[in-house]
Amino acid sequence: MDFRFTDEHEAFREEVRAFVREHLPDGGERGGGEGGSDEGFTRTLRFQKAMAERKWLTMAWPKEYGGLAASHWQQMLLNEEMAYQRAPSGGNMGVMWVGPALMLVGSEEQRREHLNRIATAADHSWWCTLYSEPGAGSDLASLQTRAVEQGDEFVLNGQKIWTSGAHRSNYGWLAARTDPDAPKHRGITMFILDMSSPGVSVRPLINMGDEHGFNEVYFEDVRIPRRNVVGEMNRGWYHLAVALDFERSSIAGFSGARRTVEEYIQYAQEHYGHVERNRQARLAFADRMVEIEVGTQLAYRIVHLQTRGIIANYEASAAKLYSSELSQRIAGTGMKLLGLFGQLRPGEPQAPLGGSVGQSYVTSVSATIGGGTSEIQRNIIATRGLGLPRG
């Protein structure tokens, strides 16, 4: 089988490289996690705006919604190259799953109002995802945040947790219970929430990498207009499941991982003499590179399904599972390579590789939790992929 891309694709890849060189002359950012600084977020927005001007932010979306109707392979090449160059993606949920979900189940009014704003990276178009609650994570259908119908509005009360980027978002993609008497999967509705609504309060949660990425979000008598109901009332669970498929399809990033391992190899060659003589490092690098190759094929499989109009489901879980666990193995390989120096954090003068190794060792722990834990992905693969009965 020939896995090479066409000359046209390779020319496009070159165009992307030139774009990144122009807009990130000092190169992209290493390590980190989702909780970047305010300065970093401003840089992300600036870069995304430049991408949006070329319609690259949403290149596979239909033209009527601000895309280029580009092929899914072209989108994949763009994502790969951006990740390899460490361009700031900033976890733009509007682009990754809210927009695609609105295209499928949103009203015409919602599509008109939001899709072009997401595609053009307009001001005030940053989204967060309000699913998890203190008592509802893996068992998301148990969520208790209530939206009670009152005339032409819904009144929202409850709490969400682990909400990434809520402190920067002006819109929330929200799941709330609208029918407490129905079986738990059948009483949930999806809403668009204006995060500046009175009664919404956002409190920071700092992760163990000392980053402010996620938050707690509280709702006290928040009023949501009826036109912000997405899709059918009480069918939110099914709409949310599709959005989760989009989310997991977009998580797998293997070209950024390749860049990291290449950097480790270069570091080892420069600092420890010939890697060829260090058996342990050689084997670890070889293992990681083989795994990256396997992961790349899992990600390509999702694209192949998308080209056939299929939304990847257990296939996306497989790629998400593999990518998140691999990110931890790669960080572990980096820590072994650097020894005690690996503990030095970004900003420390003697930190090798900008302190990125220790930082990703700590922040990659959450990769196997966010977007659904590894156990949940394995359950999905076992039941929907392999047809095994529920355990």
Ligand X SMILES: Cc1cc2nc3c(=O)[nH]c(=O)nc-3n(C[C@H](O)[C@H](O)[C@H](O)COP(=O)(O)OP(=O)(O)OC[C@H]3O[C@@H](n4cnc5c(N)ncnc54)[C@H](O)[C@@H]3O)c2cc1C
266 binds ligand X (CB under 6 A): no
Query: Closest separation between CB of residue 173 and ligand X, Å?
Result: 9
246 binds ligand X (CB under 6 A): no
Binding segment (CB under 6 A) for ligand X, from list 119-127, 289-297, 342-350, 371-379: 371-379
Query: Closest separation between CB of residue 213 and ligand X, Å?
Result: 6
Q: How far apart are CA 172 and CA 230, in angstroms?
A: 12
Burial of 55 (0-12, 13-18, 19+ CB in 10 A): middle
163 binds ligand X (CB under 6 A): yes
Sign, CA dihedral 342-346-348-351, equals: positive
Find where tokens 């969400």 sit.
Answer: 160
Q: How far apart are CA 27 and CA 20, in angstroms?
A: 8
Binding segment (CB under 6 A) for ligand X, from list 95-103, 331-339, 347-355, 365-373: 365-373
Which phi-psi region, left, alpha or beta, contains residue 231 (left: φ > 0; alpha: ψ -120 to 50)?
Answer: left
Nearest residue (CB) to ligand X, 328 versus 373: 373
Q: Which residue's Cβ lies closest to ligand X?
A: 137
Query: Closest separation between CB of residue 139 and ligand X, Å?
Result: 6
From residue 253, give the alpha-carbon distance in Å to each of 22, 98, 249: 23, 19, 10
Q: How far apart are CA 166 and CA 169, in angstroms?
A: 5
Binding segment (CB under 6 A) for ligand X, from list 1-9, 131-139, 250-258, 322-330: 131-139
379 binds ligand X (CB under 6 A): yes
Q: How many residues bind ligand X (CB under 6 A)?
A: 19
Active-site annotation, residues? 247
164 binds ligand X (CB under 6 A): yes
Answer for the pair 193, 172: CB distance below 8 angstroms, yes or no. yes
Query: Closest separation between CB of residue 365 and ligand X, Å?
Result: 8
Q: Which residues pair with 127 in a beta bridge?
A: 171
138 binds ligand X (CB under 6 A): yes
Binding segment (CB under 6 A) for ligand X, from list 42-50, 103-111, 256-264, 373-381: 373-381
Inter-axis angle of helices 72-84 and 279-307, nearest 10: 150
366 binds ligand X (CB under 6 A): yes
Query: Closest separation between CB of residue 370 and ligand X, Å?
Result: 3
Q: How far apart are CA 87 and CA 156, in angstroms?
A: 37
Scan residues 29-88 and list those touching ligand X (CB under 6 A): none
Q: What is the dihedral of CA 358, 360, 364, 365, to 10 degrees?
A: 20
Q: Which residues here bind ligand X, judged by CB under 6 A?
A: 128-132, 137-138, 162-164, 214, 366, 369-370, 372-373, 375-376, 379
